[in-house]
Chains A and B, each alone.
Chain A
Amino acid sequence: MPVAVNRGCGAVVTSDAVDDDLALVDRLRAGDETAFVEVVRSYQARLMRLAQATVGSRAVAEEVCQDTWLAVFRGVERFEGRSSFKTWLFKVLLNRAHTTAARELRAGRSDDDVIERFDANGAWAEPPVPWSDRVDDALVAERLAHRVQDLLPALSELQRQVVVLHDVEGLDSTDVATLLGITEGNQRVLLHRGRAKLRECLAAELGMDR
């Protein structure tokens, strides 16, 4: 069965995208202010979202973003196009965020947020209440898309980072694991727990909390 998942901004880096990135970087290196404005318009809000997912506070996130742009000014000469510009930018931001705020390693967090409920034989003890068919209604789908961002604080820091990078920004698992300095297996566990927690929150939004 083909598996189609919406990946936000698109996980595939095409050769056109790479060419566009390199052209943009050339303009940045040449000191083209309009290129900088383009980059800021495209990425500042995304950087803020990832920074907030990392450091929590909006004020600290703003500081991290400013530090990131300064690091980009200084470091753009070193961008080689091996990753997309977006991935490189996220890497710069995460480095700055980890410098600014001590990172709270929660990868080892295990059972406190396991929310599926099974009996001793591994069967559902409390099966999920059906609601997915209600989302065929466009209004409900729009409401969920609007709400899910507000629900991100329910996740742990690393879960938030993984979910934002993978499901909102559309980076692939390898890039997410590399950016966050975790294994791909750990990345998958964090992504699973983050999605499971958000699923539970959305169920509660629909009055179907299980």
Chain B
Amino acid sequence: MRFWRRHSELVCRDAVALMTAYLDGELDDRDRTRLETHLADCPHCSEYLAQLRVTIDALGHVDIDELSDEALDDLVHLYRQWRAG
């Protein structure tokens, strides 16, 4: 039992390495349980995970630059040239 516990518990470095797959829902049940068990006891890794979530959320709210009228006109011109052969 002690042998199993030693090999199933994660250290922080391993927990951090699993976080991207965890956040993307790509961990299998065993690794997800191991990670969540570690997180329940480790405030540093929990904070790190929270900061990764903030980072991903910020990336999901990156603004799209406005397309200028000039840039659109240039591309429509390109399109018409191509259509005209």
Contact = CB atoms under 8 A, between A and B. Distances in A.
Given A46-B64, A70-B78, A128 B23 contact: no
A8 B60 contact: yes
Q: Is the interface of B mostly helix, strand, loop or mixed?
A: helix
A108 to B, nearest CB: 18
Contacts, number: 144
A132 B58 CA distance: 12
A48 B51 CA distance: 28
Contacts of A128: 44, 47-48, 51
B51 A131 contact: yes
A192 B17 CA distance: 8
Interface residues of B, number: 46
Chain A: interface size category: 35 or more
Contacts of B72: 37, 40-41, 44
Interface of B: 11-14, 16-17, 19-26, 36, 44-45, 47-48, 50-67, 71-72, 75-76, 78-80, 82-83
Given A36-B76, A168-B62, 11 more contacts: A3-B24, A40-B67, A44-B72, A66-B75, A73-B82, A123-B13, A133-B50, A144-B54, A148-B55, A199-B52, A199-B54
